[in-house]
């Protein structure tokens, strides 16, 4: 298994490190435009493998020749959000970056599965899909796993319980209109409404939607990377090990949920072929309306692209 990570910044380097620790690849390539940086990080990572007991070979490069024949490519390239900046404001610049990256990737790895992490996530996933010409099964965006993890974390913080016992789903676009599904939120199978009142649930839902910018505001000069990287690697591992995991990810909908022609977060089955099944869950009328609104916002932003 050969995996390439495009972008050697905080997210990309953390993705690469976790993949190396988990030994999910025989060969891992880190690509970045900054001269020398990916080589330095890759060598440092490679030198950690004897300590961690990993046989993953780690390579850093400023080009794409070394990426040839990759089975999975994780795209993290692009600008990070700054305080006061919305995901949508990133769109124009990052669309050009993701377009260029995808063109280079496809030339060297025409059979790869693409996992997009660049923001705004759903729109960048669409860019990678259109530019690559790949079937929708081989292009997916990391979003719902991260949003769901934040949602579960905030519930655990509120109740003082283990995150392992919290089951939840967050659907829709990766942004302010994401839809945490309260009707599917349980603690060891018990509905969340038996633990928390409506006002508290609404506060947690709002904090989940603001989860990314909350970290940006703390860091001042960067954005989240530990949780996004862990979420991306969960998708990588599901492909590598053909796990058939059911995870919320951004995929192209072609009629599912009554939506066509846009990427948005829904539960999917991930295996060695990529997106192996799209799961349609029943939504309450309120959740359905919120989900359709979120998807329509993504579609509107996709309409602004100049590809």
The residues annotated with a catalytic role in the active site are 174
Q: Residue 28: helix, strand or coil by DSSP?
A: strand
Contact by Cβ (8 Å): 223, 209: no
Q: How far, rounded to the nearest angstrom, does the alpha carbon of residue 280 sit from its chain's CA centroid?
A: 20
Token pair listed for 166: 């919290």
| Residue 177 phi, psi (nearest 5) | -105, 10
Q: Using omega within 30 degrees of 0 as the cis cutoff, is the peptide bond preceding 120 cis?
A: yes
Contact by Cβ (8 Å): 5, 15: yes
Q: Residue 73: helix, strand or coil by DSSP?
A: strand
| CB neighbour list of residue 270: distance below 8 Å, 6 or more residues apart | 140, 235, 238, 239, 243, 244, 245, 247, 249, 276
Token pair listed for 202: 């609404």
What span, in angstroms and rounded, lies between the C-alpha atoms of 142 and 287?
21
What are the E-state strand segments in the chain? 2-6, 27-31, 57-61, 72-75, 113-116, 139-141, 166-167, 170-171, 179-180, 186-187, 190-191, 245-254, 260-271, 274-278
């Amino acid at each position: 298994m050969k995996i390439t990570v495009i972008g050697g910044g905080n997210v990309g380097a953390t993705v690469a490190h976790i993949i190396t620790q988990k030994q999910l690849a025989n060969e891992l390539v880190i690509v970045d435009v900054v001269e020398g940086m990916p080589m330095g990080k890759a060598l440092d990572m490679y030198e950690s493998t004897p300590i961690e007991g990993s046989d993953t070979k780690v390579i850093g490069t400023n080009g794409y020749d070394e990426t040839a024949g990759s089975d999975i490519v994780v795209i993290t390239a692009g600008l990070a959000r700054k305080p006061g900046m919305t995901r949508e404001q990133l769109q124009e610049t990052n669309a050009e970056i993701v377009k260029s990256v995808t063109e280079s990737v496809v030339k060297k790895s025409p059979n790869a599965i693409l996992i997009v992490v660049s923001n705004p996530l759903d729109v960048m996933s669409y860019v990678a899909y259109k530019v690559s010409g790949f079937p929708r099964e081989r292009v997916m965006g990391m979003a719902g796993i991260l949003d769901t993890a934040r949602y579960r974390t905030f519930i655990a913080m509120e109740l003082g319980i283990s995150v392992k016992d919290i089951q939840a789903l967050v659907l829709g676009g990766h942004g302010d209109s994401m839809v945490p599904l309260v009707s599917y939120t349980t603690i060891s199978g018990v509905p969340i409404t038996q633990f928390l009142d409506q006002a508290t649930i609404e506060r947690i839902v709002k904090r989940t939607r603001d989860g990314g910018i909350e970290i940006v505001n703390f860091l001042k000069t960067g954005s989240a990377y530990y949780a996004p990287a862990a979420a991306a690697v969960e998708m990588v591992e599901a492909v590598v090990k053909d796990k058939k995991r059911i995870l919320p990810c951004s995929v192209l909908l072609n009629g599912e949920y009554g939506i066509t022609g846009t990427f948005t977060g829904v539960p999917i089955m991930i295996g060695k072929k990529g997106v192996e099944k799209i799961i349609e869950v029943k939504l309450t009328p309120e959740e359905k309306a919120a989900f359709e609104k979120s998807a329509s916002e993504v579609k509107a932003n996709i309409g602004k692209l100049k590809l």
